[in-house]
Amino acid sequence: MTDRPLTQNIRSDGSPTFLERYEANGGYAGVRKALADMTPESCLEEVKNAGLRGRGGAGFPTGMKWSFVPMGEKAGPGHKYLIANADEMEPGTFKDRLILEQDPHQLLEGMIASAFTIQADIAYIFLRGEYVLAAERLNQAIRECYEAGYLGKNILGSGYSLELRLHKSAGRYICGEETALINALEGKRANPRPKPPFPQVAGLWGRPTIVNNVETLCNVTHIISRGSDWYKTLGRGEDNGTKLFGASGNVKNPGVWELPMGTPIREILEEHAGGMRDGYQLRGFLPGGGSTDFLTEQHLDLAMDYDVIGKAGSRMGTGTMIILDDRNCPLGMVRNLSQFFGHESCGFCTPCRDGIPWIVQLLDQFEQGEATHEDIALLEEKAAFIGGIGNTHCALAPGAMEPVNSALKYFREDFERHVTEGGCTYHRAGGRH
Partner 1 sequence: MPQITIDGKSFDVQAGGNLLEVVLGLGLDLPYFCWHPAMGSVGSCRQCAMVQFQNAEDERGRIVMACMTPVTDGMHLSLSGERARDFRADVIEALMVNHPHDCPVCAEGGECHLQDMTVMSGHRERRYDGLKNTHVNQYLGPLINHEMNRCIACYRCVRYYQDYAGGTDLAVLGAHDHVYFGRHQDGVLESEFAGNLVEVCPTGVFTDKSLVHDYTRKWDLQSSPSVCVGCGVGCNTAPGERYGRLKRIHNRYHEEVNGYFLCDRGRFGGNFVNSDIRLTRSGQQQADNTFVALSREAALAKLAQSCGAGQRIAGIGSPRASLESNWMLQAFVGATQFCAGFGPEGAAVRAIASALKGGGVPSATLQEIEAADAVIILGEDVTQTAARVALALRQTVRNKGLEKAAAMGVAIWQDAAVRNITQNDCSPLIQLMTASTRLGDIAQETIALSPDDIARYGFALAHALGTGSGVTDMSAADQTRVEAIAAILRDAKRPLVISGSGCQSESVVNAARALALALQQQSELTRVVYAVPESNSLGLALLDDHPVSLRELSEQAQRGELDTLVVVENDLYRRAPTDVVETLLNAVPNIVVMDLIETNTIERASLALPVASFAECEGTLVNAEGRAQRYFPAIAGKPDQPPAWSWLADAAAASGRQALAGLNHIDALLQAIAADKPVFAGAAEAAPGAGYRDRIGLKVARQPARYSGRTAMYADKTLHEPKTTADEQSGLAFSMEGDNQSLPSALQPFVWEPGWNSNQSLHKFQTEVGGAMRGGNAGVRLIHPHDGTLADATALPAAFSPRDAVWWVTPQYRLFGSDELSAQSASVAELIARPQVSLSPADAARLNLTPHDGVAVSVGDRTVKCRVNQDAGVPEGTVGFIQGLPGNPVWASGEQATLERLPDFARPPEVLARDSEVAHG
What residues line the site for partner 1 (CB under 8 A)? 172, 189, 193-197, 201-202, 205-206, 342-351, 353-358, 361, 364, 378, 381-382, 385, 388-393
CA 184, CA 205: separation in Å to the nearest integer?
Answer: 11
Name the residue among 277, 279, 251 with its Cα closest to residue 265. Answer: 251
CA 379, CA 359: separation in Å to the nearest integer?
Answer: 7
* Shortest Cβ 1–partner 1 spacing (Å): 44
Q: With respect to partner 1, which residue has the nearer C-beta, 105 or 393?
A: 393
* Element housing 244 (H / E): strand 242-248
Q: With respect to partner 1, which residue has the nearer C-beta, 36 or 377?
A: 377
For the purposes of burial, counting CB atoms within 10 Å of the CB of 156, is it exposed (0-12), middle (13-18) or buried (19 or more)?
Answer: middle
* Shortest Cβ 307–partner 1 spacing (Å): 22
Q: With respect to partner 1, which residue has the nearer C-beta, 136 or 381?
A: 381
Q: Got the DSSP string for 164-233?
A: EEEEE----GGGGSHHHHHHHHTTS--PPPPSSSPTTTS-GGGS-EEEEEHHHHHHHHHHHHH-HHHHHT
Q: With respect to partner 1, which residue has the nearer C-beta, 196 or 430?
A: 196
* Shortest Cβ 362–partner 1 spacing (Å): 8
* Shortest Cβ 361–partner 1 spacing (Å): 4
Is-contact 106 158, C-beta < 8 A?
no
Q: With respect to partner 1, which residue has the nearer C-beta, 194 or 279?
A: 194
* Shortest Cβ 103–partner 1 spacing (Å): 33
Q: With respect to partner 1, which residue has the nearer C-beta, 267 or 380?
A: 380
Q: With respect to partner 1, which residue has the nearer C-beta, 163 or 364?
A: 364
Q: Got the DSSP string for 281-340?
A: -EEEEEBTBTTS--B-GGGTTSB--HHHHHHTTS--TTSEEEEEETTS-HHHHHHHHHHH
Residue type present at position 33: K
* Shortest Cβ 407–partner 1 spacing (Å): 20
Helix, coil or strand: residue 377:
helix
* Shortest Cβ 357–partner 1 spacing (Å): 5
Cα-Cα-Cα-Cα torsion 149, 154, 158, 161, nearest 10 degrees, comes to 100
Please confirm whether the linkage preceding 196 is cis (ω < 30° from 0): yes
Q: With respect to partner 1, which residue has the nearer C-beta, 172 or 299?
A: 172
Q: With respect to partner 1, which residue has the nearer C-beta, 24 or 170?
A: 170
* Shortest Cβ 112–partner 1 spacing (Å): 26
Name the residue among 270, 271, 303 with its Cα closest to residue 287. Answer: 303
Q: With respect to partner 1, which residue has the nearer C-beta, 94 or 340?
A: 340
Is-contact 355 379, C-beta < 8 A?
no
CA 275, CA 263: separation in Å to the nearest integer?
Answer: 16
Distances (CA, A) of 323 to 160, 251, 273, 330: 46, 8, 11, 11
* Shortest Cβ 345–partner 1 spacing (Å): 4
Q: How many CB atoms neighbour CB 356 within 10 A? A: 27
Please confirm whether the linkage preceding 260 is cis (ω < 30° from 0): no
Q: How many CA atoms lie within 13 A of 341 on its CB side?
A: 34
Is-contact 259 370, C-beta < 8 A?
no
